[in-house]
Amino acid sequence: MESILVQLDSRSYSIFIDQQVFANASNNTQIINEFKALAQDKKLLIVTNDTVAPLYLEQTKTLCQQSNASHIEVVVLPDGEQFKDMTHLNRIFDALLEKQYARDCMLMALGGGVIGDMTGFAAACYQRGVDFIQIPTTLLAQVDSSVGGKTAVNHTLGKNMIGSFHQPKLVLINTDFLNTLPDREFAAGMAEVIKYGLLWDQSFFEWLELNQEALKAKQPQVLIQAIKRCCEIKAEIVAQDETERGCRALLNLGHTFGHAIETGLGYGNWLHGEAVAAGMVMAFQTSQEMGWVSQQVVDRVTALISAFGLPTTKPEDFSGETMLALMQRDKKVQDGQLRLILPQAIGNTVVTSQAPQSVLSKVLSV
Protein backbone atom coordinates (compact mmCIF):
# COMPACT_ATOMS: atom_id res chain seq x y z
CA MET A 1 0.00 0.00 0.00
CA GLU A 2 1.37 3.38 -1.07
CA SER A 3 -0.01 6.67 0.19
CA ILE A 4 0.49 10.30 -0.83
CA LEU A 5 -0.77 13.44 0.87
CA VAL A 6 -1.98 16.29 -1.33
CA GLN A 7 -1.12 19.27 0.86
CA LEU A 8 -3.71 22.04 0.57
CA ASP A 9 -4.05 23.26 4.16
CA SER A 10 -7.62 22.54 5.32
CA ARG A 11 -8.41 20.84 1.99
CA SER A 12 -5.55 18.33 2.18
CA TYR A 13 -6.41 14.71 1.39
CA SER A 14 -4.83 11.28 0.99
CA ILE A 15 -4.30 9.14 -2.09
CA PHE A 16 -4.03 5.40 -1.42
CA ILE A 17 -2.55 3.13 -4.11
CA ASP A 18 -2.57 -0.65 -3.95
CA GLN A 19 -3.07 -3.66 -6.17
CA GLN A 20 -6.21 -4.55 -4.22
CA VAL A 21 -7.31 -1.53 -2.21
CA PHE A 22 -10.82 -2.88 -1.67
CA ALA A 23 -9.69 -6.36 -0.64
CA ASN A 24 -7.09 -4.92 1.71
CA ALA A 25 -9.17 -2.04 3.06
CA SER A 26 -10.63 -4.09 5.92
CA ASN A 27 -7.08 -4.90 7.04
CA ASN A 28 -5.85 -1.32 6.77
CA THR A 29 -6.79 0.77 9.78
CA GLN A 30 -5.78 4.04 8.11
CA ILE A 31 -8.13 3.57 5.13
CA ILE A 32 -11.02 2.39 7.27
CA ASN A 33 -10.59 5.23 9.75
CA GLU A 34 -10.40 7.87 6.99
CA PHE A 35 -13.35 6.38 5.16
CA LYS A 36 -15.48 6.17 8.30
CA ALA A 37 -14.60 9.73 9.26
CA LEU A 38 -15.90 10.87 5.87
CA ALA A 39 -18.89 8.59 5.31
CA GLN A 40 -20.27 7.50 8.69
CA ASP A 41 -23.96 8.37 9.16
CA LYS A 42 -24.05 10.18 5.81
CA LYS A 43 -26.20 9.71 2.75
CA LEU A 44 -23.93 8.57 -0.10
CA LEU A 45 -24.56 8.79 -3.84
CA ILE A 46 -22.35 6.58 -5.99
CA VAL A 47 -22.05 7.82 -9.59
CA THR A 48 -20.75 5.29 -12.10
CA ASN A 49 -21.36 4.18 -15.70
CA ASP A 50 -22.88 1.16 -17.39
CA THR A 51 -19.47 -0.36 -18.13
CA VAL A 52 -18.03 -0.10 -14.63
CA ALA A 53 -21.19 -0.84 -12.63
CA PRO A 54 -21.39 -4.58 -13.44
CA LEU A 55 -17.71 -4.96 -12.52
CA TYR A 56 -17.13 -2.93 -9.37
CA LEU A 57 -20.35 -1.42 -8.03
CA GLU A 58 -21.04 -4.18 -5.50
CA GLN A 59 -17.49 -3.96 -4.08
CA THR A 60 -17.93 -0.22 -3.68
CA LYS A 61 -21.29 -0.58 -1.97
CA THR A 62 -19.78 -3.11 0.45
CA LEU A 63 -17.04 -0.64 1.35
CA CYS A 64 -19.68 2.04 1.92
CA GLN A 65 -21.69 -0.28 4.15
CA GLN A 66 -18.57 -1.02 6.21
CA SER A 67 -18.21 2.73 6.77
CA ASN A 68 -21.67 2.83 8.42
CA ALA A 69 -23.16 5.19 5.85
CA SER A 70 -26.79 5.92 6.65
CA HIS A 71 -28.10 5.52 3.08
CA ILE A 72 -26.68 4.61 -0.34
CA GLU A 73 -28.10 5.48 -3.76
CA VAL A 74 -26.61 4.87 -7.21
CA VAL A 75 -26.72 6.77 -10.51
CA VAL A 76 -25.54 4.82 -13.57
CA LEU A 77 -24.71 7.01 -16.57
CA PRO A 78 -23.89 5.88 -20.11
CA ASP A 79 -20.19 5.35 -20.79
CA GLY A 80 -18.39 7.79 -23.06
CA GLU A 81 -16.97 11.29 -23.49
CA GLN A 82 -19.98 12.23 -25.62
CA PHE A 83 -22.15 12.00 -22.49
CA LYS A 84 -20.05 14.44 -20.46
CA ASP A 85 -22.60 17.21 -20.80
CA MET A 86 -25.19 19.23 -18.90
CA THR A 87 -27.98 16.82 -19.80
CA HIS A 88 -26.33 13.87 -18.06
CA LEU A 89 -25.01 16.06 -15.24
CA ASN A 90 -28.64 16.84 -14.42
CA ARG A 91 -29.30 13.16 -13.80
CA ILE A 92 -26.99 13.42 -10.78
CA PHE A 93 -28.82 16.50 -9.53
CA ASP A 94 -32.18 14.79 -10.12
CA ALA A 95 -31.16 11.88 -7.87
CA LEU A 96 -29.86 14.17 -5.13
CA LEU A 97 -33.01 16.28 -5.11
CA GLU A 98 -35.49 13.40 -5.45
CA LYS A 99 -33.89 11.61 -2.47
CA GLN A 100 -33.69 14.87 -0.49
CA TYR A 101 -29.93 14.75 0.02
CA ALA A 102 -28.81 17.58 2.30
CA ARG A 103 -25.56 19.54 2.37
CA ASP A 104 -23.91 16.91 4.61
CA CYS A 105 -24.23 14.19 1.95
CA MET A 106 -21.28 12.81 0.00
CA LEU A 107 -20.82 11.78 -3.63
CA MET A 108 -18.52 9.00 -4.85
CA ALA A 109 -17.11 8.86 -8.38
CA LEU A 110 -16.61 5.25 -9.51
CA GLY A 111 -15.26 5.35 -13.04
CA GLY A 112 -12.82 7.03 -15.38
CA GLY A 113 -12.17 10.67 -16.07
CA VAL A 114 -15.65 11.43 -17.39
CA ILE A 115 -17.37 10.10 -14.27
CA GLY A 116 -14.82 11.75 -12.00
CA ASP A 117 -15.16 15.13 -13.68
CA MET A 118 -18.96 15.05 -13.72
CA THR A 119 -19.29 13.81 -10.14
CA GLY A 120 -16.83 16.40 -8.91
CA PHE A 121 -18.62 19.18 -10.75
CA ALA A 122 -21.97 18.03 -9.36
CA ALA A 123 -20.44 18.03 -5.87
CA ALA A 124 -19.05 21.52 -6.42
CA CYS A 125 -22.47 22.85 -7.47
CA TYR A 126 -24.99 20.98 -5.31
CA GLN A 127 -26.11 23.24 -2.48
CA ARG A 128 -22.98 25.31 -3.25
CA GLY A 129 -20.61 22.47 -2.46
CA VAL A 130 -20.69 18.99 -0.91
CA ASP A 131 -17.96 16.40 -0.29
CA PHE A 132 -16.92 13.73 -2.78
CA ILE A 133 -14.51 10.81 -3.08
CA GLN A 134 -12.68 9.63 -6.20
CA ILE A 135 -12.40 5.90 -6.99
CA PRO A 136 -10.80 5.99 -10.46
CA THR A 137 -11.07 2.85 -12.59
CA THR A 138 -8.94 3.83 -15.63
CA LEU A 139 -5.22 4.47 -15.82
CA LEU A 140 -5.80 8.00 -17.10
CA ALA A 141 -8.04 8.82 -14.15
CA GLN A 142 -5.70 7.17 -11.65
CA VAL A 143 -2.66 9.19 -12.70
CA ASP A 144 -4.30 12.46 -13.61
CA SER A 145 -7.96 13.46 -13.53
CA SER A 146 -8.84 12.03 -10.09
CA VAL A 147 -6.18 14.19 -8.40
CA GLY A 148 -6.16 17.97 -8.14
CA GLY A 149 -9.80 18.98 -8.08
CA LYS A 150 -10.42 19.98 -11.69
CA THR A 151 -14.06 19.22 -12.52
CA ALA A 152 -16.05 20.05 -15.65
CA VAL A 153 -18.43 19.12 -18.42
CA ASN A 154 -17.98 19.68 -22.14
CA HIS A 155 -19.73 22.12 -24.46
CA THR A 156 -20.14 21.59 -28.19
CA LEU A 157 -17.81 24.56 -28.74
CA GLY A 158 -15.09 23.46 -26.32
CA LYS A 159 -13.92 20.71 -24.00
CA ASN A 160 -14.10 21.26 -20.21
CA MET A 161 -15.24 24.85 -20.68
CA ILE A 162 -17.86 24.66 -17.91
CA GLY A 163 -16.42 23.59 -14.58
CA SER A 164 -14.98 24.36 -11.17
CA PHE A 165 -12.05 23.60 -8.89
CA HIS A 166 -13.37 21.30 -6.16
CA GLN A 167 -10.98 18.98 -4.31
CA PRO A 168 -11.98 15.42 -3.36
CA LYS A 169 -11.78 14.26 0.25
CA LEU A 170 -10.05 10.98 -0.60
CA VAL A 171 -8.69 9.11 -3.64
CA LEU A 172 -8.61 5.29 -3.66
CA ILE A 173 -6.55 3.80 -6.50
CA ASN A 174 -7.00 0.06 -7.06
CA THR A 175 -4.58 -1.11 -9.77
CA ASP A 176 -6.37 -4.45 -10.23
CA PHE A 177 -9.16 -2.45 -11.85
CA LEU A 178 -6.81 -2.06 -14.82
CA ASN A 179 -7.04 -5.80 -15.56
CA THR A 180 -10.50 -5.23 -17.07
CA LEU A 181 -9.49 -2.05 -18.91
CA PRO A 182 -9.46 -2.40 -22.73
CA ASP A 183 -6.02 -2.14 -24.33
CA ARG A 184 -6.96 1.07 -26.12
CA GLU A 185 -8.01 2.71 -22.83
CA PHE A 186 -4.83 1.54 -21.11
CA ALA A 187 -2.69 3.02 -23.90
CA ALA A 188 -4.61 6.29 -23.63
CA GLY A 189 -3.74 6.39 -19.92
CA MET A 190 -0.08 5.83 -20.74
CA ALA A 191 -0.12 9.10 -22.68
CA GLU A 192 -0.78 10.93 -19.41
CA VAL A 193 1.89 8.86 -17.64
CA ILE A 194 4.45 9.83 -20.28
CA LYS A 195 3.31 13.45 -19.97
CA TYR A 196 4.63 13.68 -16.39
CA GLY A 197 8.12 12.69 -17.47
CA LEU A 198 8.06 15.12 -20.38
CA LEU A 199 6.90 18.13 -18.42
CA TRP A 200 8.58 17.66 -15.04
CA ASP A 201 10.92 14.69 -14.53
CA GLN A 202 13.46 13.54 -17.10
CA SER A 203 14.57 10.63 -14.92
CA PHE A 204 10.98 9.35 -14.82
CA PHE A 205 10.82 9.57 -18.63
CA GLU A 206 14.01 7.51 -18.81
CA TRP A 207 12.52 5.01 -16.34
CA LEU A 208 9.47 4.69 -18.61
CA GLU A 209 11.72 4.00 -21.59
CA LEU A 210 13.43 1.20 -19.64
CA ASN A 211 10.21 -0.29 -18.24
CA GLN A 212 7.87 0.02 -21.21
CA GLU A 213 7.52 -3.75 -21.70
CA ALA A 214 6.71 -4.34 -18.02
CA LEU A 215 4.12 -1.56 -18.21
CA LYS A 216 2.54 -3.07 -21.30
CA ALA A 217 2.33 -6.37 -19.41
CA LYS A 218 0.67 -4.52 -16.49
CA GLN A 219 3.13 -5.91 -13.97
CA PRO A 220 1.59 -4.85 -10.64
CA GLN A 221 4.61 -3.38 -8.86
CA VAL A 222 5.76 -1.50 -11.95
CA LEU A 223 2.27 -0.09 -12.42
CA ILE A 224 2.10 1.00 -8.78
CA GLN A 225 5.50 2.68 -9.07
CA ALA A 226 4.45 4.56 -12.23
CA ILE A 227 1.10 5.65 -10.79
CA LYS A 228 2.71 6.74 -7.53
CA ARG A 229 5.29 8.91 -9.30
CA CYS A 230 2.61 10.56 -11.44
CA CYS A 231 0.50 11.31 -8.36
CA GLU A 232 3.55 12.64 -6.50
CA ILE A 233 4.33 15.06 -9.33
CA LYS A 234 0.75 16.21 -9.62
CA ALA A 235 0.41 16.60 -5.84
CA GLU A 236 3.58 18.72 -5.78
CA ILE A 237 2.34 20.96 -8.60
CA VAL A 238 -1.19 21.32 -7.23
CA ALA A 239 0.17 22.20 -3.77
CA GLN A 240 2.08 25.08 -5.38
CA ASP A 241 -0.71 26.27 -7.67
CA GLU A 242 -4.17 24.89 -6.91
CA THR A 243 -6.19 27.04 -9.34
CA GLU A 244 -3.79 27.12 -12.29
CA ARG A 245 -2.41 30.64 -12.04
CA GLY A 246 1.16 29.49 -12.61
CA CYS A 247 3.00 26.17 -12.82
CA ARG A 248 -0.15 24.00 -12.84
CA ALA A 249 -0.69 25.04 -16.45
CA LEU A 250 2.32 22.88 -17.32
CA LEU A 251 0.10 19.83 -16.71
CA ASN A 252 -1.65 20.79 -19.95
CA LEU A 253 1.31 19.78 -22.11
CA GLY A 254 -0.20 18.63 -25.42
CA HIS A 255 -3.73 19.49 -24.30
CA THR A 256 -4.34 22.61 -26.39
CA PHE A 257 -3.57 20.58 -29.51
CA GLY A 258 -5.39 17.54 -28.14
CA HIS A 259 -8.57 19.33 -27.06
CA ALA A 260 -8.86 20.82 -30.55
CA ILE A 261 -8.74 17.31 -32.01
CA GLU A 262 -11.40 16.05 -29.59
CA THR A 263 -13.70 19.00 -30.21
CA GLY A 264 -13.24 18.98 -33.97
CA LEU A 265 -13.79 15.24 -34.43
CA GLY A 266 -16.67 15.04 -31.95
CA TYR A 267 -16.21 13.87 -28.37
CA GLY A 268 -15.48 10.17 -28.08
CA ASN A 269 -14.10 9.55 -31.58
CA TRP A 270 -10.56 9.89 -30.25
CA LEU A 271 -9.93 9.09 -26.61
CA HIS A 272 -8.58 11.97 -24.54
CA GLY A 273 -5.21 10.27 -24.08
CA GLU A 274 -4.90 9.59 -27.79
CA ALA A 275 -5.47 13.26 -28.60
CA VAL A 276 -3.01 14.33 -25.88
CA ALA A 277 -0.40 11.89 -27.25
CA ALA A 278 -0.55 13.47 -30.70
CA GLY A 279 -0.66 16.91 -29.05
CA MET A 280 2.54 16.28 -27.10
CA VAL A 281 4.38 15.29 -30.26
CA MET A 282 3.13 18.47 -31.93
CA ALA A 283 4.30 20.50 -28.93
CA PHE A 284 7.80 19.04 -29.28
CA GLN A 285 7.72 19.61 -33.05
CA THR A 286 6.78 23.25 -32.40
CA SER A 287 9.73 23.61 -30.02
CA GLN A 288 12.00 21.96 -32.57
CA GLU A 289 10.89 24.46 -35.25
CA MET A 290 11.63 27.27 -32.78
CA GLY A 291 15.12 25.91 -32.10
CA TRP A 292 14.40 24.92 -28.49
CA VAL A 293 14.86 21.14 -28.82
CA SER A 294 16.66 18.93 -31.31
CA GLN A 295 15.19 16.53 -33.83
CA GLN A 296 16.78 13.74 -31.78
CA VAL A 297 14.64 14.73 -28.78
CA VAL A 298 11.49 14.82 -30.94
CA ASP A 299 12.32 11.35 -32.29
CA ARG A 300 12.89 9.99 -28.78
CA VAL A 301 9.55 11.31 -27.54
CA THR A 302 7.75 10.05 -30.63
CA ALA A 303 9.31 6.60 -30.22
CA LEU A 304 8.04 6.12 -26.65
CA ILE A 305 4.56 7.36 -27.49
CA SER A 306 4.45 5.11 -30.55
CA ALA A 307 5.61 2.14 -28.47
CA PHE A 308 2.24 2.16 -26.69
CA GLY A 309 0.30 2.25 -29.96
CA LEU A 310 -0.67 5.89 -29.58
CA PRO A 311 -1.10 8.36 -32.46
CA THR A 312 1.69 10.85 -33.08
CA THR A 313 -0.01 13.03 -35.72
CA LYS A 314 -3.40 14.68 -36.05
CA PRO A 315 -6.09 12.92 -38.12
CA GLU A 316 -5.29 13.05 -41.83
CA ASP A 317 -8.63 14.60 -42.79
CA PHE A 318 -8.45 17.30 -40.10
CA SER A 319 -7.15 20.53 -41.63
CA GLY A 320 -4.54 22.62 -39.91
CA GLU A 321 -6.69 25.74 -40.36
CA THR A 322 -9.63 24.14 -38.56
CA MET A 323 -7.42 22.89 -35.79
CA LEU A 324 -5.76 26.28 -35.25
CA ALA A 325 -9.18 27.98 -35.11
CA LEU A 326 -10.29 25.54 -32.42
CA MET A 327 -7.06 26.08 -30.48
CA GLN A 328 -7.84 29.80 -30.37
CA ARG A 329 -10.86 28.95 -28.16
CA ASP A 330 -8.67 27.25 -25.55
CA LYS A 331 -8.99 28.29 -21.90
CA LYS A 332 -5.33 29.39 -21.91
CA VAL A 333 -5.94 32.13 -24.49
CA GLN A 334 -5.37 35.51 -22.82
CA ASP A 335 -5.82 38.93 -24.43
CA GLY A 336 -6.24 37.19 -27.76
CA GLN A 337 -2.86 35.46 -27.42
CA LEU A 338 -2.68 31.68 -27.73
CA ARG A 339 -0.52 30.36 -24.89
CA LEU A 340 1.03 26.93 -25.29
CA ILE A 341 2.98 24.63 -22.99
CA LEU A 342 6.17 23.96 -24.90
CA PRO A 343 9.27 21.96 -23.95
CA GLN A 344 12.76 23.38 -23.70
CA ALA A 345 14.05 19.88 -22.92
CA ILE A 346 12.61 16.59 -21.70
CA GLY A 347 11.46 17.37 -18.16
CA ASN A 348 11.53 21.15 -18.66
CA THR A 349 8.47 22.97 -20.02
CA VAL A 350 7.27 26.56 -20.08
CA VAL A 351 4.03 28.43 -20.76
CA THR A 352 4.60 30.74 -23.70
CA SER A 353 2.79 32.84 -26.30
CA GLN A 354 5.96 33.09 -28.42
CA ALA A 355 5.11 30.39 -30.96
CA PRO A 356 4.74 32.19 -34.31
CA GLN A 357 1.63 31.39 -36.32
CA SER A 358 3.86 30.43 -39.24
CA VAL A 359 5.47 27.72 -37.07
CA LEU A 360 2.12 26.44 -35.87
CA SER A 361 0.76 26.37 -39.41
CA LYS A 362 3.77 24.32 -40.51
CA VAL A 363 3.41 21.84 -37.65
CA LEU A 364 -0.35 21.52 -38.15
CA SER A 365 -0.04 21.04 -41.91
CA VAL A 366 1.70 17.67 -41.47
pLDDT score, position 147: 96
pLDDT score, position 153: 96
Residue 107, phi then psi, degrees to nearest 5 = -100, 150
CA torsion through residues 200, 112, 170, 190, sign? negative
How far apart, in Å, are the Cα atoms of 116 and each of 6, 62, 109, 133, 288? 17, 20, 5, 9, 35
Residue 174, phi then psi, degrees to nearest 5 = -110, 105
CATH number of 2-180: 3.40.50.1970
Instruction: Find the catalytic residue in 192, 232, 262, 274.
Output: 192
Q: Residue 131: in which H helix or E strand, if any?
A: strand 131-136
Residue 289 is a catalytic residue: no
Q: Residue 47: in which H helix or E strand, if any?
A: strand 43-49
Residue 42 is a catalytic residue: no
Instruction: Find the catalytic residue in 259, 314, 331, 339.
Output: 259
**Rg (alpha carbons) of the chain, rounded to whole number:** 20
pLDDT in tens, 59-86: 899 888 888 889 999 999 999 999 999 9
Instruction: Find the catalytic residue in 34, 244, 262, 274.
Output: 244
pLDDT in tens, 36-62: 889 889 999 999 999 999 999 998 998
Residue 252 is a catalytic residue: yes
- Domain borders along the chain are 2-180, 199-364
How far apart, in Å, are the Cα atoms of 61 and each of 16, 24, 66, 103, 239? 18, 15, 9, 21, 31
Residue 71 is a catalytic residue: no
Instruction: Find the catalytic residue in 166, 169, 195, 234.
Output: 234
User: Whole-model pTM?
Assistant: 0.93
Q: Residue 73: in which H helix or E strand, if any?
A: strand 71-77
How far apart, in Å, are the Cα atoms of 11 and each of 5, 107, 125? 11, 16, 17
Instruction: Find the catalytic residue in 27, 128, 245, 316.
Output: 128
Instruction: Find the catalytic residue in 248, 331, 332, 339.
Output: 248
pLDDT score, position 342: 97
Average confidence score pLDDT of the chain: 93
Residue 255 is a catalytic residue: yes
DSSP 8-state code for residue 337: B
Name the β-bridge partners of 49.
Answer: 77
Residue 234 is a catalytic residue: yes
Given 3-state DSSP classes, what are the helix, strand and coil percentages for the chain, each rounded to the nearest 5?
A: 55, 20, 30
In whole angstroms, give the CA distance from residue 21 to residue 174.
5
Q: Cα 318 to chain center, whole Å? A: 25
Residue 128 is a catalytic residue: yes
Which of the following CATH numbers is that of domain 199-364: 3.40.50.720, 1.20.1090.10, 2.40.40.20, 1.10.150.250? 1.20.1090.10
Residue ranges of the chain with pLDDT lower than 50? none
In whole angstroms, give the CA distance from residue 70 to residue 80.
31
Cβ-contact 62, 91 below 8 angstroms: no
Instruction: Find the catalytic residue in 84, 159, 272, 331.
Output: 272
Q: Name the residue among 17, 88, 10 with its Cα closest to residue 49.
A: 88
